Amino acid sequence: MPTQKRHLQHPSQLHRQQNFRLERWHRLALYAAFAALTLSGIVWLVAHYLLRQASEFGESVHPWEHPAMQIHGGLAMLILLLTGSLLQLHIRRAYRARCNRRSGWSMLGCLAVLGISGYGLYYLASEQSHIVWSLGHSLTGLALPVVVWLHIVIGRKAVAHS
């Protein structure tokens, strides 16, 4: 019967009782994967937009572009896996306790935009629409570390005040 009693409690009481903090290994895996994903995206952006050189046959692709894109795609799959692992314990419990919803939904929204735009860049973008897909993906990807950081800071402050 403890689960029935929990549903009758006020959300602030639920927040005090539950620890939404991830286990250390899980937290470190997420931080490392997000950092590596962001870094690989930045490396690709720099190589693609700043390091290309003109040759007698036109612009040449920088040697870092392809490996950065391969690493970025692999890390994107890892982020999808790690995000999915948050659904049952972290996201569901925090949502029910009405904790940190705005930043959590913002983060999930960014991840959805990145997943859809990444898919779009790879499979759907035409020559005309490629810049729109790319710009949306790049800007959202550069904003994601800020959104993740805010989610962590807001969550830790909420725990400290409860």
Q: What tens-digit pLDDT sequence spans the chain (162 residues)?
A: 455 544 444 544 444 446 677 889 999 999 999 999 999 999 999 999 999 888 888 888 999 999 999 999 999 999 999 999 998 888 888 888 888 889 999 999 999 999 999 999 999 999 999 999 999 999 999 999 999 999 999 988 876 776
Closest CA to 36 of 82, 81, 68: 68
Supply the pTM of this predicted model.
Answer: 0.82
3 vs 35: CA distance, rounded Å: 37
pLDDT given at position 18:
60
Q: What share of the chain is helix, strand, coil (3-state, %, to 5)?
A: 80, 5, 15
The domains of the chain are located at 10-161
Q: Which residue has the tokens 């898919």?
A: 119
Cβ(144)–Cβ(34) under 8 Å?
A: yes
Residues 111, 112, 114, 120, Cα dihedral to 10°: 160
pLDDT given at position 96:
85
